[in-house]
């Protein structure tokens, strides 16, 4: 574990494993814990870099304008610090939105791109989702039980929640939300997702890309309303992208579909020219 200053903010990061580097970009609210189940598996094959984005976890949390390009530029700066000219990029949820910008703006630094449970533009239902997060954080705080329970329902499959790990997962979500967030930054991140339109970034991606997510995803679904551009849109509009749908998984496939998610991701990163072969 270490810290470095990037674009005026101190960022926390951790490097695990050896091999080709994979940068893990976490989603809104969760910090590097988003990849807590993935890194122990993926680091057997790759060098995994987990970090807290500006505004989260142990990194600085300045009150400022936040958008996907701000976070993408921070990732480039972190790679500079680590001496990495190129890396694989794996973004989950909001991290997948940051990954779209990074893969477009920093094409020359992106080996392969993984967009996990994400979107290029939210429909009205999606915008309401994050407006609700803003309102709950304002009235009850980021560590409220109400917010943790809502996120659990929106992110985890019903089968997972009904299983032995379900109640503990809600406790874990509440603990992470309490300790990884500053209310004002959390709200700005939600607003950044509400306001974003990444279609021009996404259609400009020219590196091998995997769009992966759960078939039960209700937060960033494959099929959105007509005003949105969800996972299916990404798979159809990023040139050459391949897609993989995890059956029985909700938004957080890294938790309720860990083994299948990691198997597909590792196969994709290790594939030769035929990216669609043997993903499963």
Q: Which domain holds residue 114?
A: 2-122+198-270
Q: Answer whether residue 93 is part of any domain.
A: yes
* Residue 193 located in a structural domain: no
The band of 135, judged by pLDDT with boundaries at 50, 70 and 90, is very high
Please check the confidence at residue 280 and state whether its pLDDT lies above 70.
no
Report, as an integer, the average pLDDT of 244-256: 95
**For residue 27, is it within any domain?**
yes
Position 72 in a domain:
yes
91 is a domain residue: yes
What is this structure's pTM?
0.96
pLDDT tens-digit profile of 11-61? 999 999 999 999 999 999 988 999 999 999 999 999 999 999 999 999 999
d(CA 180, CA 186): 10
- Residue 59 is predicted with a pLDDT of 97
Q: Determine the pLDDT at residue 250.
A: 96
What average pLDDT is seen over the chain?
95
Q: What's the whole-number mean pLDDT along residues 224-236?
A: 97
- The reply to whether 153 falls in a domain is no
Whether the per-residue pLDDT at 137 is higher than 70: the answer is yes
Domain count, the chain: 1
In a domain, 266, yes or no: yes
Mean pLDDT of 106-121: 98
Higher per-residue confidence, 247 vs 273 = 247
Tell me the CATH number at 16. 3.40.50.1820
What pLDDT sits at residue 275?
63
137 assigned to some structural domain: no
The per-residue pLDDT for 272 is 76
How many CA atoms lie less than 13 Å away from 41 in the CB half-sphere? 17
């Amino acid at each position: 574990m270490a810290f470095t200053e990037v674009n005026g903010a101190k960022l926390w990061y951790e490097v695990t494993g050896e091999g080709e580097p994979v940068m893990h970009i976490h989603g809104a609210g969760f910090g590097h814990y988003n990849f807590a189940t993935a890194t122990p598996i993926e680091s057997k094959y790759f060098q995994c870099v987990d970090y807290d984005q500006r505004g989260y976890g142990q990194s600085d949390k300045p009150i400022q304008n936040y958008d996907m390009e701000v976070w993408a530029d921070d990732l480039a700066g972190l790679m500079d610090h680590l001496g990495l000219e190129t890396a694989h990029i794996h973004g989950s949820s909001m991290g997948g939105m940051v990954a779209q910008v990074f893969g477009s703006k920093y094409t020359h630094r992106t080996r392969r791109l993984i967009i996990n449970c994400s979107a290029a533009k939210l429909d009205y239902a999606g915008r309401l989702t994050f407006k609700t997060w803003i309102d709950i954080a304002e009235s009850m705080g980021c560590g409220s039980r109400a917010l943790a329970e809502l996120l659990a329902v929106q992110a985890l499959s019903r089968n997972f929640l009904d299983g032995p790990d379900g109640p503990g997962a809600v406790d874990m979500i509440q603990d992470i939300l309490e300790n990884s967030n500053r209310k004002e930054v959390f709200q700005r991140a939600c607003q950044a997702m509400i306001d974003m339109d990444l279609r021009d970034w996404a259609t400009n991606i020219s590196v091998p890309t995997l769009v992966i997510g759960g078939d039960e995803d209700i937060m960033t679904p494959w099929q959105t309303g007509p005003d949105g551009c969800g996972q299916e849109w990404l798979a159809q509009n990023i040139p050459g992208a391949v897609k993989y749908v995890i059956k029985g998984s909700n938004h957080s496939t890294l938790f309720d579909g860990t083994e299948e998610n990691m198997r597909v991701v590792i196969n994709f990163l290790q594939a030769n020219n035929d990216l669609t072969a043997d993903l499963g």
